[in-house]
Chain A
Amino acid sequence: AAGVIQSPRHLIKEKRETATLKCYPIPRHDTVYWYQQGPGQDPQFLISFYEKMQSDKGSIPDRFSAQQFSDYHSELNMSSLELGDSALYFCASSLGHPGYNEQFFGPGTRLTVL
């Protein structure tokens, strides 16, 4: 069965650079979520989209922005990167209204900021 696809899988950036993470949800899934997992920590919710509209926002820095496109894929744009942004970034998708159904996670993008 098709799973959530994230690209790139690994990304190394310098401080103050920008990064773009991409997420392709499971076919037919119309809700996308972004989470950040720091070393040894549990995932923290960043932002979610349903039918191309932002549905909820968590502890996402103002330096980050995201959107969901007409084909339901999503991109997380991160600017002015800081050392503390180094983490595993997960995208998840679900079918229908946010939270109603099971969330399926992608393999993650490991971002390292030097």
Chain B
Amino acid sequence: KQEVTQIPAALSVPEGENLVLNCSFTDSAIYNLQWFRQDPGKGLTSLLLIQSSQREQTSGRLNASLDKSSGRSTLYIAASQPGDSATYLCAVSWNAGGTSYGKLTFGQGTILTVHP
């Protein structure tokens, strides 16, 4: 079964710390992987998309890496700020015979709290 797991479930850090969120997936046949941020009761904001042929993507203080062979992706947040507090979700679009139908399978998310 194709599943996505995120560890840890929750993380609390002081402001300014660099941190890493982990995402693992059971099937290496992925088409791409997307990281999202979700504030309580709100929609999902796309942070980064990594295609299966890429090793990493960067956007501002965020850097996401992808290792298909080990079934892992990490989201690195540099110099964390209280405004980064949210739930971070990774989601996988699986490779179906060289293409993708677009359905995203989500992890359970990591609840991040950055305290001043």
Q: Which A residues lie at the B interface, using CB under 8 A? A: 31, 33, 35, 41-45, 48, 50, 55-56, 58, 88, 90, 92, 94, 97-108, 110
Contacts and interface: CB of A to CB of B under 8 A. Distances in A.
B43 A90 contact: yes
A14 to B, nearest CB: 23
Nearest to A3: B43
Contact of A97 (B41, B99, B104, B105): B99
Nearest to A107: B43
Interface stretch (B10-18, B44-52, B61-69, B70-78): B44-52
Contacts of A44: 106
A41 B105 CA distance: 12
Contacts of A101: 49
Given A90-B44, A94-B102, 14 more contacts: A42-B89, A42-B108, A43-B91, A43-B104, A43-B106, A48-B101, A97-B100, A99-B93, A99-B99, A99-B102, A99-B103, A103-B46, A105-B36, A105-B44
Q: How large is the interface on B (under 10, 10 to 19, 20 to 34, 35 or more residues)?
A: 20 to 34
B31 interface: yes
Contact of B106 (A42, A48, A97, A106): A42
Given A42-B108, A42-B109, A99-B32, A105 B46 contact: yes
A56 B89 contact: no
B45 A105 contact: yes
Nearest to B4: A42
A77 B45 CA distance: 25
A88 B34 CA distance: 20
A97 B101 CA distance: 8
18 contacts: A41-B108, A42-B109, A43-B89, A44-B106, A45-B103, A50-B102, A56-B102, A58-B103, A92-B44, A94-B102, A98-B100, A98-B102, A99-B31, A99-B32, A100-B31, A105-B36, A107-B42, A110-B41
